[in-house]
Amino acid sequence: MRKKSKELLDNLNKITQKENRFQVEKTIPDTNRLWKNQLQDEFIHKWPKEYHKGPWNKEVDDEGNVDYWTPFDRIYGGLYGITLTQKDGTEYTGKIHKKRRLVQGMDGKNFYTEVRVTADGRWFDNGGFPIDPPTKVEENEENKEVTFVKPELTEEEKAEQVKYQREAEADMLKKLK
């Protein structure tokens, strides 16, 4: 085949190729944006040090106010399980473990709160936001299988059961004769 004919066929193949219309474009949700002014509110949420570095994307609103944001990892939950949306907009496919930690509340009382940890060592609080690894963590007990508890019979009920068994046995013996 001549060079020019081959080149024409290659260009024709490029024209007839269709894009994968089902391929989802990676996007970063607005809820996965950490705004630089949020880092000042440490009493609301303490962000891990890696998020303080950036890289920061500049954004100017309609009124001319300037702010900067950077993407962060976040866990979302619902009826059908939990998912981790990563900084780059992809979904994490590894294992996510559930644990719990003891936290002191504003009133001074201690309580347990749920945390999640990925197989690669990233930690998240019960709101799905990234946190520094906690010092004391307990394994969360998995829900055991639901079973029915058979109640214990009282002495009267036991005696009644024995009576019915004897009557049933007597009826069966009568039928044999």
Q: How much is the pLDDT for 129?
A: 92
Q: How much is the pLDDT for 7?
A: 83
Q: Which residue has the higher pLDDT, 5 or 59?
A: 59
Q: Would you say residue 84 has pLDDT above 60?
A: yes
Q: How much is the pLDDT for 134?
A: 87
Q: What is the pLDDT of residues 5-54, one digit of tens each?
A: 888 777 777 776 667 767 777 788 888 888 888 887 777 788 888 888 87
Domain ranges of the chain: 25-137
Q: How much is the pLDDT for 141?
A: 56
Q: Which residue has the higher pLDDT, 16 or 62?
A: 62
Q: Quick one: three-class SS letters along the chain?
A: CCHHHHHHHHHHHHHHCCCCCCCCCCCCCHHHEEEHHHHHCCCCCCCCHHHCCCCCEEEECCCCCEEEEEECCEEEEECCEEEEECCCCCECCCCEEEEEEEEECCCCCEEEEEEEEECCCCEECCCCCEECCCCCCEECCCCCCCCCCCCCCCHHHHHHHHHHHHHHHHHHHHHHC
Q: What is the pLDDT of residues 122-170, one digit of tens each?
A: 999 989 999 998 888 877 655 556 677 777 888 888 899 999 999 999 9
